Amino acid sequence: MADFEVKAYPELWKELDMDVARFDKARQMLGSAYAAMYLSQQNRPAAMAYFDNMVAEIHGGRVRELMDAKKEGRPVVGTFCVYIPEEIVVAAGGICVGLCGGSQGSIPDAEKILPRNICPMVKSAFGFKAGKICPYFQAVDFVYGETTCDAKKKTWEILDRLVPTYVMEIPQMKNKRDKVLWLEEVKGFKQKVEEVSGKKIAADDLAAAIKVINGKRGALQRLTRLRAANPAPISGKDALLLEQIAFYDEPVRFAEKVNVLCDELEQRVKRGEGVMPGDAPRVMVAGVPMALPNWKVHNLVETAGAVIVNEESCIGTRYFKDLIAENVKDMDGQLDVLTERYMRIDCSCFTPNNERIEQVVKEYRDSQAQGVLHYSLQFCHTYNVEEIRIKEACQKEKIPYLSIESDYSPEDVGQLQTRIEAFLEQIRG
**Residues contacting residue 50 through CB under 8 Å, at least 6 positions apart:** 257, 260, 261
Q: How far is the CB of 151 from ligand SF4 (least distance, A)?
A: 5
Q: How far is CA 221 from CA 316, 362, 363, in A?
A: 10, 14, 12
Q: State yes or no: residue 349 binds ligand SF4 (CB under 6 A).
A: yes
Contact 93, 70 (CB under 8 A): no
The pairing of beta strand 142-146 with beta strand 165-168 = parallel
Q: Which is nearer to ligand SF4, 206 or 345 (CB)?
A: 345
Q: Which is nearer to ligand SF4, 153 or 199 (CB)?
A: 153
CA dihedral (191, 196, 199, 205) in degrees, to 10, reads: -70
Contact 290, 375 (CB under 8 A): yes
Element (H, E) at 119: none
Q: How far is the CB of 394 from ligand SF4 (least distance, A)?
A: 19
Q: Mask: binding to ligand SF4, 179-208, rule CB under 6 A, as x and -?
A: ------------------------------
Q: Which is nearer to ligand SF4, 255 or 380 (CB)?
A: 380
Give the Cα-Cα-Cα angle 281, 285, 286 (nearest 5 degrees): 145
Q: How far is the CB of 338 from ligand SF4 (least distance, A)?
A: 16
**Which span sits near ligand SF4 by CB under 6 A: 76-84, 236-244, 294-302, 418-426?**
76-84
Q: Which is nearer to ligand SF4, 268 or 318 (CB)?
A: 318
The correct pick among 45, 78, 274, 289 for binding ligand SF4 (CB under 6 A) is: 289
Nearest to 288 by CA among 348, 236, 362: 348
Q: Which is nearer to ligand SF4, 149 or 276 (CB)?
A: 149
Q: How far is the CB of 366 from ligand SF4 (least distance, A)?
A: 20
* Interface positions, 113-172, toward ligand SF4 (CB under 6 A): 119, 121-122, 148-149, 151-152
**Which span sits near ligand SF4 by CB under 6 A: 19-27, 81-89, 332-340, 395-403?**
81-89
> If DSSP codes are grouped into helix, strand and coil, which group holds residue 142?
strand
The correct pick among 34, 83, 295, 375 for binding ligand SF4 (CB under 6 A) is: 83
The correct pick among 201, 226, 288, 394 for binding ligand SF4 (CB under 6 A) is: 288
Please give the full DSSP string across 32-83, using - where no structure is assigned: HHHIIIIIT-SS--TTHHHHHHHHHTTTTHHHHHHHHHHHTT--EEEESSTT
* Interface positions, 361-390, toward ligand SF4 (CB under 6 A): 377, 380, 382-383
Contact 339, 288 (CB under 8 A): no
Give the Cα-Cα-Cα angle 243, 314, 191 (nearest 5 degrees): 100
Q: State yes or no: residue 347 binds ligand SF4 (CB under 6 A).
A: yes
Q: With CB under 6 A, what is the number of residues at the site for ligand SF4?
A: 20
Q: Which is nearer to ligand SF4, 143 or 265 (CB)?
A: 143
Q: State yes or no: residue 290 binds ligand SF4 (CB under 6 A).
A: no
Q: How far is the CB of 148 from ligand SF4 (least distance, A)?
A: 3
Q: Which is nearer to ligand SF4, 12 or 119 (CB)?
A: 119
**Residues contacting residue 259 through CB under 8 Å, at least 6 positions apart:** 219, 222
Contact 226, 266 (CB under 8 A): yes
Nearest to 364 by CA among 264, 270, 285, 258: 285
Contact set with ligand SF4 (CB under 6 A):
81-83, 119, 121-122, 148-149, 151-152, 288-289, 314, 345, 347, 349, 377, 380, 382-383
